[in-house]
Amino acid sequence: MKAAVVGAGSWGTAFARLMADRGHEVTLAGRDPEQARVMAETGRNPRYLKSVSLHGIAPVSIAEAPLAAADVVVLAVPSRAFGEVAAALPGSVPVLSLTKGLDPASGERLSTLVRDRPVAVLSGPNFAEEVSDGLPAAAVIASEDEALAAELQDAINSLVFRVYVNPDVIGVELCAAAKNVIALAAGGVDGVGLGDNAKAALITRGLAEMSRLGEACGARPETFSGLAGMGDLMVTCWSRHGRNRRAGELIARGATPDEAASEIGQVVEGLMTAPVLRDLSRRLEIELPITEGVCEVLSGRSLDELVAGLMGRRPTAE
């Protein structure tokens, strides 16, 4: 398979390595021509996963990428750039989205921005650092095109990266977006030292929020207990690799959202997704109290006030 990976960040780099190790012909396309030049000369990404060899991968700028000749275009770009990149793709080559978020401009799921071509979404507990090191992981591919999902499953699945398929694109994309917002809150719990009991309770109720949102949007309930839901939520909220968890921790300790993102040095999707998700829930007239609280903290409310507000909500059935 000829795969063009667009986006030379951590996950794009790790996924390009994964595909090359499966024997595919892989191009890694970055936005910055200088970054692409250094990757081609050194065989390393100068910004992300610097220890990962790019042997067998062709680094290029997006303008030079052979997108029309690819069998699949893999989009590993930030949510804010996804729509623009998808709209500029030539031909009708299928797209596999790795981006976890919602479109900041419209609030739409990202796969809906891919027009006139088959599209699939890959998600799950897949930290780039561990995938690039060859550690075992599992993921789910969701698509309304069963043949495309099966083809990609066969192309990507290996002894170290197990791939499942799922027809529930809505659920998989909503899980991928919402878990980052819950991870910001989980990081806040870490930042002020509220303990593991509080963090476990927050994550559990966060999963309930995600499920409530999915139900309102027509997703399948079982998706939220699977890899894209519970699996990705757990690793994002607990792992030292989690950017969103780390951002929440820094903000709880006094950093502004911009300062937290700057210290992390990579895109923190939850910071962009939180207000989009809140607005979506209001349009759907469903309650997402943790998401609402995260947005309030990002706007300057103290975390102590948020905790008091969440704990003081009227008791109800689980």
Residue-wise pLDDT tens digits, 169-222: 999 999 999 999 999 999 999 999 999 999 999 999 999 999 999 999 999 999
pLDDT at 56 exceeding the cut of 80? yes
The pair of structure tokens assigned to 223 is: 């998706």
Residue 246 and residue 298: Cα distance in Å, rounded?
Answer: 14
Once rounded to an integer, what is the mean pLDDT over residues 241-245?
95
Task: In the chain, count H helices and then E strands.
Answer: 13, 8
Q: How far is CA 36 from CA 21, 128, 313, in A?
A: 20, 19, 52
Catalytic residue among 2, 50, 179, 199: 179
pLDDT of residue 128: 96
Report residue 309 CA to chain centroid gap.
29
Convert 141-165 to b/e letters by CB count within 10 Å (16 or more is b).
bbbebeebbebbbebbbeeebbbbb
pLDDT of residue 187: 96
User: 318 pLDDT band (50/70/90 cuts)?
Assistant: confident
| Least trusted range by pLDDT, from 5-14, 42-51, 217-226, 306-315 | 306-315
Q: How far is CA 173 from CA 54, 63, 76, 214, 232, in A?
A: 29, 28, 14, 10, 12
Q: How far is CA 257 from CA 110, 142, 280, 296, 305, in A?
A: 24, 32, 21, 12, 18
pLDDT of residue 64: 92
Give every CB contact of residue 266 below 8 A, 6+ residues apart in sequence: 9, 10, 48, 243
Q: Are 101 and 75 in contact (CB under 8 A)?
A: no
Q: Are 52 and 45 in contact (CB under 8 A)?
A: yes
In this structure, what is the dihedral angle of CA atoms 153, 53, 265, 101, given to the nearest 10 degrees? -10
| Least trusted range by pLDDT, from 80-84, 237-241, 303-307 | 303-307
Once rounded to an integer, what is the mean pLDDT over residues 16-22?
97
pLDDT of residue 317: 73
The structure's pTM equals 0.94
Residue 88 and residue 95: Cα distance in Å, rounded?
Answer: 12
Residue 63 and residue 211: Cα distance in Å, rounded?
Answer: 40
pLDDT of residue 242: 94
Helix, strand, coil percentages for the chain (3-state, nearest 5): 55, 15, 35
Residue 89 and residue 97: Cα distance in Å, rounded?
Answer: 13
179 catalytic per annotation: yes
Q: Are 150 and 201 in contact (CB under 8 A)?
A: no
Mean pLDDT for all residues in the chain: 95
Once rounded to an integer, what is the mean pLDDT over residues 20-31?
96
Query: pLDDT tens, 247-296?
Result: 999 999 999 999 999 999 999 999 999 999 999 999 999 999 999 999 99
Q: How far is CA 253 from CA 308, 311, 313, in A?
A: 17, 20, 25
* Three-state DSSP state, 134: coil
pLDDT at 66 exceeding the cut of 90? yes
pLDDT of residue 303: 75
Which has the closest alpha carbon to 11: 35, 28, 32?
28
Residue 151 and residue 186: Cα distance in Å, rounded?
Answer: 36
